Structure 1
Amino acid sequence: MRKMVLAALPLGLMTLTACGNKAEPEPETVEAPVLMKAGEWTLTRKTTGYNTPTVTPAEYQAALKQTSEDKSCIAVDAGGLPDPNALAGAEGKDCSYKDKLIHKGRLIATLACKAGKGTSEIALEGNFTADTLTLGSTMTRTEGGQPVLRTTHDLTGKRTGECAKG
């Protein structure tokens, strides 16, 4: 019994000395979260891809020349997520977030929307600051369970001020 106590003694001392020699860890600096500001935004969508089951090369080339600009009053929720309908633009309405990841100025999300006689699913990925955003978007419109249109866009935005009082 005496030998066992003596054998355990060095272990106990090593543990104590190891604990005493550790330097205090540096406190981690907490970065302020990047949050998009609600307000009046100008959103520009440049078509980068357009595909339907019957698209012709001429229709495809014409679609690639399309750029639209919308001014929207965008609400941002407490978690920093912008209004999904504003991000969807003309590609969907009554949209909701199907899934989302928002972290340090990065947004990765999928929107589920109504579109015409069917639905659209819009995948978004990109970066934002308090008053700018740059997202890539891929929309797939489905009618009767069949995909009928797929588009891709570069979506950029700039906050231009507060929303007009209505």
Structure 2
Amino acid sequence: MRGYWTFAALALAGCSAEQAPAPEQEDAPIVLKAGQWTLSRTITGYNTPDITAEDYARMVGTKTEAKLCIAVGKDGRPDADALARPEGKDCTYKDASIRKGRFIATLACKADGGTSELVLEGNYTPESLTLGSSMTKTVGGKAVLRTTHDLSGKRTGDCAAG
């Protein structure tokens, strides 16, 4: 009978113990897809040391569109030059947090006799992105241009061969 009571006590102890919660499954990563993209950029702010009200009014609201083949690295970072153009070239990521549909990055670029730094922040899916962009261009240690943009993009297919 003693074996029965031991078994019953263990069974009851098992019932009263809390079960550990199942580990949460992490969502599949959201990764931008490489390929042919159409990027649209609208200037929302434009400032230089000597800008006139007329120049500001002429620049703000200007829209441009570019069709680009964008590569995406193994780290999920899209080509920095594609995101920076036309405000910089030979760009590198200073820092980036690109995960779960959120994109925050700082790019360092060369720009017409100086450098430009772009801060990008927004949301993305594998085939679209919507970012705010803030750029400061510096020549000879002095800021000569500051712009802000709304940047949106849509993947339109694979890149043409060649």
- Is TM more than 0.5 here? yes
Partner Cα separation in structure 2 for residue 140 and residue 86 of structure 1: 17
Aligned partner (choices 92, 95, 98) of residue 99 of structure 1: 95
Residue identity (%): 58
Deviations 1:99-141 (A, max 9, x none): 1111201110000000001000000000100100000000000
Aligned partner (choices 78, 83, 88) of residue 82 of structure 1: 78
TM-score if structure 1 supplies the norm length?
Answer: 0.87
Q: 2:115 — aligned with what?
A: 119
Q: 1:128 — aligned with what?
A: 124
Q: 1:30 — aligned with what?
A: 26
How many residues were matched structurally? 149
Deviation of 1:79 (Å): 1.3
Gaps of at least 5 residues in structure 2 are 1-12
Partner Cα separation in structure 2 for residue 65 and residue 134 of structure 1: 17
Which secondary structure does the structure 2 equivalent of 1:156 belong to? strand
One-letter identity of the residue aligned with 2:45: G
Deviation of 1:65 (Å): 2.8
RMSD: 1.3
Deviations 1:28-51 (A, max 9, x none): 122000000000000000000000
Partner Cα separation in structure 2 for residue 102 and residue 38 of structure 1: 15
Which secondary structure does the structure 1 equivalent of 2:159 belong to? coil
TM-score if structure 2 supplies the norm length?
Answer: 0.89
Partner Cα separation in structure 1 for residue 153 and residue 62 of structure 2: 17
Which secondary structure does the structure 2 equivalent of 1:163 belong to? coil
Deviations 1:60-91 (A, max 9, x none): 01001310000000000111110000000110
In the alignment, does 2:106 pair up with 1:110? yes
Gaps of at least 5 residues in structure 1 are 1-16
